[in-house]
Structure 1
């Protein structure tokens, strides 16, 4: 077994009341067929976006990255911060073109210069490109190197794909699964009306009629971080793992949140630090949980049973196991999320230090 392997797995059981936090193209809550029954589903993209919004609350602006077609404007602003007398947009277009990206002029937006596709770029990369542009650098490789170096923790975690130039790609150090309900679900419809406050008194009708589709569910959520991969690109991987875990536990997509006020916290969190491979426990729910007295308790019991079976038959017992919430005491000693996040950071640091000493 490769002793440089180090993974942090996050397993969350979370109950969500009537809600529509992630919709498909028809406005219906997303679903999936799993184990022969229809389950509620929240896409990984929706939860990752929520996590990136959470990062904004706990990280500095300089540590964050941006995904946008409007990188020309960002770079132009940075160039003019360094030298206000320069034509920032012209130099920005030139710098990005030298770096291998395609810039187009959108006539519909007043000849606004934009990239032809979304691009994920860190604050440090913007600053490096701006400095090269201000210095009058002509070497294309220098601009390309500026876009490859110092990716920022978000790019390191979630990866970057550049169809125009694969050399600028990053493999994601994290994976986030689509969340699914541990049980079968059936969508319901809310028929609603809105009253016109200024309607005449003799007009008893509603000003607006409509329906919104929703469901409620107990979700199994899973994510994993390849710490060894993350270490290649960030100086403080243990801190980034902690921030990732905190965001995964607390962030929530905001679809129809004003309508349903569905913001909840997990019922249980199980964190493992593994040195063999990541392990997703969704198989615990291939057979849908059946209950008339709630799904949370039964779902946590399923996690315990499935984890113990997996450890007996297929994979190693985790190097460290941390938990929060009632019902998972067989797998670990449970503590508060805050205590477990502190322990997680310390354990990852300890294992990375040991690996460094062994090299």
Structure 2
């Protein structure tokens, strides 16, 4: 068995009466495809859910067998305000308070070093992924700088007067000198930390417009999920009852609000492609770790649902069907099996699997069959000529293929 260049995961999952992913108007996200409007779940929403599965704390992650956090690999955080939330509070802890003018200069300088020349303006910053090793390195660097500044009593908050222009210039020069290791932005952090960018960046990539050399290419490519049939929606008429008004003697009905909430139902097709060679490279050429990552990622795709409106719709479902392909040819989606929308009545699942069967057969006749295939199917039908296995066996097989030399 040789390691495949690509792994492709196709899945079907059904959700009744939910609002999995909303737009800015509070309505379900949509996708016109093949002349039919479908319900959609964005790739960003899917990836975020996979990232945070079991992430309430490390102990809870350990209890979720397929959580990415359970791999004990450094994770990361995406933020426009790393300096405010993760650097300055830790750097200044236990030190004499600095004068507000000094704090502003310090904060602006660090933000510019990390986020680029316009980094002092929060609105101009790009939200970046920072791996936990990167954050730890930065915390140590800023801590050292803060300790140096607090040694000058003229720069402390207890000083009545703000630093004059000469002192400000000296502060700026000192900060610039101390932050010199960051002159090349995040790229230099890789030389100071192991797995600097974090597991999320190793999977889903990182783009740094202020320093393209700090970019990380994404080996995991996630398509937007969409319903195989036309959108099915209903406006749910909701009244919020005011318990105290209802109990009063003034005859009020007790309504505290009236709302319309859109609910949708549907069978969603989702598609994920993994560049195995790039994933192994992003993980420091650790094929065993890459195999575990693929194992857990497939588990997450099959078993983790988008988390919107949990309290009012319980949007939990497992994939009812998965087709996994491994091979060296360029990946290709099977979404076009549903370019002609499936009729949303009767055996929708059966017709959807048949549409996949027909489309896959057409592709094989045109291009040949160049992938190893396995499938998981909760209920009949399943694809002809493809081994059917359980999720555990499916993931074991993929892990062994990734680990192969």
Please indicate, yes or no, whether the TM-score normalized by the shorter chain is above 0.5. Answer: yes
Separation in 2, partners of 1:47, 1:275: 26
Name the CA shift for 1:80/1:238 in 2 (closer, same or farther; >3 Å).
Answer: farther
Name the CA shift for 1:125/1:267 in 2 (closer, same or farther; >3 Å).
Answer: same
CA contact (8 A) 1:129 1:143 kept: no
Q: Secondary structure at the match of 1:153?
A: helix
Name the CA shift for 1:221/1:52 in 2 (closer, same or farther; >3 Å).
Answer: same
Match of 1:18 in 2: 17
Q: Which of 316, 320, 335 is the equivalent residue of 1:282?
A: 335
Q: CA deviation at 1:205?
A: 4.8
Q: Does residue 1:67 correspond to 2:120, yes or no?
A: no
Name the CA shift for 1:204/1:140 in 2 (closer, same or farther; >3 Å).
Answer: closer
Q: Does residue 1:178 correspond to 2:194, yes or no?
A: no
Q: Which of 230, 236, 252 is the equivalent residue of 1:203?
A: 252
Separation in 2, partners of 1:205, 1:99: 53
Q: CA deviation at 1:284?
A: 0.5
CA contact (8 A) 1:91 1:133 kept: no
Match of 1:304 in 2: 357
Match of 2:120 in 1: 104
Q: C-alpha deviations, 1:225-263, integer Å up to 9, x for none? A: 111111221032212222222222222222222222221
Root-mean-square deviation (Å): 2.9
**1:156-305 → structure 2 map (5 Å cutoff):** 156-199=202-245, 200-201=248-249, 202-234=251-283, 235=286, 236-305=289-358
Q: Rg larger in 1 or in 2?
A: 2
Separation in 1, partners of 2:186, 2:48: 27
Separation in 2, partners of 1:146, 1:130: 15
Name the CA shift for 1:139/1:193 in 2 (closer, same or farther; >3 Å).
Answer: closer
Q: Secondary structure at the match of 1:14?
A: strand
Q: C-alpha deviations, 1:59-86, integer Å up to 9, x for none? A: 15762110011211323456579xx659
Q: CA deviation at 1:139?
A: 3.6
Match of 1:328 in 2: 382
Q: CA deviation at 1:120?
A: 0.6
Match of 2:395 in 1: 341
CA contact (8 A) 2:38 2:226 kept: yes
CA contact (8 A) 1:21 1:257 kept: no
Match of 2:166 in 1: none
Name the count of aligned residue pairs: 340
Q: Secondary structure at the match of 2:337?
A: helix
Match of 1:54 in 2: 53
Name the CA shift for 1:130/1:115 in 2 (closer, same or farther; >3 Å).
Answer: farther
CA contact (8 A) 2:4 2:401 kept: no
Q: CA deviation at 1:338?
A: 2.1
CA contact (8 A) 2:187 2:211 kept: no
Q: Does residue 1:151 correspond to 2:197, yes or no?
A: yes
* Higher helix fraction (1 or 2): 2
Give the unaligned 5+ runs of structure 1: 107-113, 354-359
Moved more, 16-25 or 60-69: 60-69
Q: Secondary structure at the match of 2:346?
A: coil
Q: Secondary structure at the match of 1:198?
A: helix
Q: CA deviation at 1:321?
A: 2.9
Q: CA deviation at 1:29?
A: 0.9
CA contact (8 A) 1:55 1:247 kept: no
Q: C-alpha deviations, 1:122-142, integer Å up to 9, x for none? A: 011222334455676744467
**1:30-45 → structure 2 map (5 Å cutoff):** 30-45=29-44
Q: Does residue 1:319 correspond to 2:372, yes or no?
A: yes
